[in-house]
Chain A
């Protein structure tokens, strides 16, 4: 079974540009999550999509946005890039909420390393 895939592996942009990151979940998974991990730090929750709907977003400015497509793949867009956006962006997928609304474990992709110069 193929795991979560992300593209590109590396992305180099200059300040002010836009970046688009892509994620394909494991087959059968309808929930997709995005996280930002700055160098040496923990994961900061960005977005949670399920069945095409945005369920929640973390404490990030509106220039971070995304969407989930009918095939459950997802795209993260970062507009007006700033130097501090340089980080590893991780996508994860899972089955949707289980019994009692408690989610299943997440399966992570290898990440996209975004460098803003």
Chain B
């Protein structure tokens, strides 16, 4: 099974609301990254958080990392219709391999 498992699998919210998605993983990591994918096309890198960091911000994005619980969360504040996409977490454990989660499909209703 995938190292990264996102939760929930799908999320539908109204524009202006906050969206929170979670990622759990199984082994120790060097870093964890979040990506967005629109309509089955290429992924866009959103944010990278290293194992010794607990929280990072980028614009309307806030990522937290809890290495003791082997989990991360991505918060998108004041969501917009343009945020509608699939969101993936990816972990790197120092083995020349990224492991992507199964993704959360976010739908923001205007």
Contacts and interface: CB of A to CB of B under 8 A. Distances in A.
Contacts, number: 65
B26 to A, nearest CB: 15
A41 B102 contact: yes
B31 interface: yes
Q: Size range of the interface on B?
A: 20 to 34
A102 B48 CA distance: 11
Nearest to A33: B98
Interface residues of A, number: 29
B33 A105 contact: yes
Nearest to B29: A102
Interface stretch (A14-22, A64-72, A74-82, A107-115): A107-115
A95 to B, nearest CB: 12
Contact of B101 (A39, A42, A101): A42
A43 interface: yes
Contacts of B95: 56
Contact of A102 (B30, B35, B45): B30
Contacts of A43: 43, 88, 90, 100
Given A90-B42, A90-B43, A58 B100 contact: no
B2 A42 contact: yes
Nearest to A91: B42
Which of A48, A88, A100, A105 has the largest number of chain B CB atoms within 10 A?
A105
A106 interface: yes
B96 A56 contact: yes
19 contacts: A42-B101, A42-B102, A43-B90, A45-B99, A48-B96, A56-B95, A56-B97, A58-B97, A90-B43, A102-B30, A102-B31, A103-B31, A105-B45, A106-B98, A108-B42, A108-B45, A110-B42, A111-B41, A111-B42
